[in-house]
Structure 1
Amino acid sequence: MKISTTSSVLALAAASTGSAQTTTYTNQSAPFTLQIANSANASLNGLYLFSCHAGAAIEGICVGGSTPISGASSTFYYNTTDTDVSGSDDGQGLLVWNLPVSGLPGTDHVSQSAALQPYRPGTNVVVPLFGFDAGTPVHFDDDKLTIKDYYNDANYVAGQFPDSTPAETVYNNWYSCWTGVGGGYTYEALSWVTAGVPHNPTCEKIDVIRTFL
């Protein structure tokens, strides 16, 4: 699907994206699809994820059908740092979708990385959005999409400083939820639960699996 938006917005966005992160995360993988697996709701297993409209040059990641949507919508990439010449999955990178555009000289797309947002005080459910904010680093563990982090307050003790060298933890808090995505849209979408049981009762636990094209 060809997405139309103003060249001035895209030019500014492309410039801000480039200065913020593409100079670091320049190692782009081969294209791949993302598919739901290992859900207790068997009807979700095998469904493909795709980028869905959530605002001006902003996309969420929605739950699709049993076959991927043709074209760019179901095609994703993994960008690792420019120092990671192997493109390995040992570290972290950015989940990227290439937004098709017209009217920009020298390119037919703008790379967008997924960032978890927005924070809302009334829920622990956030969604990844492709846009022009700095992306949230993610990790693939044997082609399973996860997030690695050092911060874990589960073992904090009152009056004591936490461990200054905490162990890295791999989190897999992906869900399929009917939820708000971007600027006033509601979809069945890929969602991340920050901790505990989802506040949103429609959320169902899933794994997200990468398959290279």
Structure 2
Amino acid sequence: MKLQLSALFLGLAATAVSAQDTQTGPYYLHITGKEGSSIDGYASACHAGAAIEGLCLGPETPPDSYVYEYYFNTSSYTTVGESEVGTIAWKLPYTDQDGNPAVVDQVLGLQYQINSNVAAPMFGWSTYNLWGFDADGKLFGYTYYDDSTFTPGTNPVPSGEGVANYQWYVCWQYFTGYYYQSLGWATTSPPHNPTCEAVDVTQVLVS
């Protein structure tokens, strides 16, 4: 899928990754089931709207295609233990103003439904989240505070110590008119969506 992208879209893309100094990759994202789930496949960037892609469950062996390849942007300033934290990017192909093929980074963010605790990870430019890979290569979400510890009227003082969160599921999800079996992120457990199965997402270097 190649698009004609406006200067505004390209400016938003540059802003989303400007704080990240180093890009590594490409990587596959291997999805494996937990708690008895038989899920085993690789994440593919699947169309979910104009210049928006979800992370769909693909086959057990990733095809030789850019839709399975992702990149990790880090600044080295944010970490969880020894693991760097940054943004996950997918390179969207488009045709530039001279008619030549080009790519632009889109970053991964969570899109929420107002009536569900399961968010859909989407590549785009409107929002992004911070992610990292632990020592085993497992993808985690980053946070530095826990609102379950809040008390009325007392301003929380974050410790500054980052926390790795692993709340990945594969679910059948509906977004912008598309219904896919794709990665989801449950903010609480159990997931509101009954099709969800708990999974790990592991970084695999493209050979």
The two structures have a TM-score, normalised by structure 1, of 0.85
Equivalent residue number for residue 9 of structure 2: 13
Q: Which whole-Å deviations, capped at 9, do the CAs of 1:165-186 have from their partners, x for residues lacking one?
A: 34532110000000123x2111
Task: Call closer, same or farther: CA 1:34–1:89 in 2, change over 3 Å.
Answer: farther
Say how many residue pairs are matched.
200
**Counterpart amino acid of residue 194 in structure 2:** P
Residue 60 of structure 1: CA displacement?
0.3
| Percentage of identical aligned residues | 32
CA contact (8 A) 2:73 2:87 kept: yes
Q: For residue 144 of structure 1, what is the aligned residue in structure 2? A: 138
Change (3 A) 1:110 1:89: farther
Deviations 1:64-98 (A, max 9, x none): 111113221000010112x66xxx96331001100
Residue aligning to 1:23: 18
Q: What residue ranges of structure 1 are gaps of 5+ in the alignment? A: none
Equivalent positions of 1:179-190 (< 5 A) are: 179-181=173-175, 183-190=176-183
Q: Distance in 2 between matches of 1:102 and 1:37?
A: 35
Once the two structures are TM-superposed, the CA of residue 5 in structure 1 deviates from its matched residue by: 2.0
TM-score of the pair, normalised by structure 2: 0.87
Cα pair 1:89 1:140 within 8 Å, conserved = no
Q: 1:35 aligns with which of 27, 30, 34?
A: 30
> What is the distance in 2 between the residues matched to 1:98 and 1:114?
11
- SS of 2:201's partner is strand
* Residue in 2 that maps onto 1:124: 117
1:202 aligns with 2:181: no
Question: 1:109 aligns to what?
Answer: 103
Deviations, residues 108-127 of structure 1 (Å, cap 9, x unaligned): 2011001111x322100001
SS at match of 1:154: helix
Q: Structure 1's 23 and 67: CA in aligned 2 closer, same or farther, altered over 3 A?
A: same
Amino acid at match of 1:57: A
Structure 2 residue ranges without an equivalent (≥5): none
Contact 1:53-1:59 within 8 A present in 2 as well = yes
CA contact (8 A) 2:29 2:43 kept: yes
Q: Which runs of 4+ in 1 moved over 6 A?
A: none
1:71 paired residue among 59, 62, 65:
65
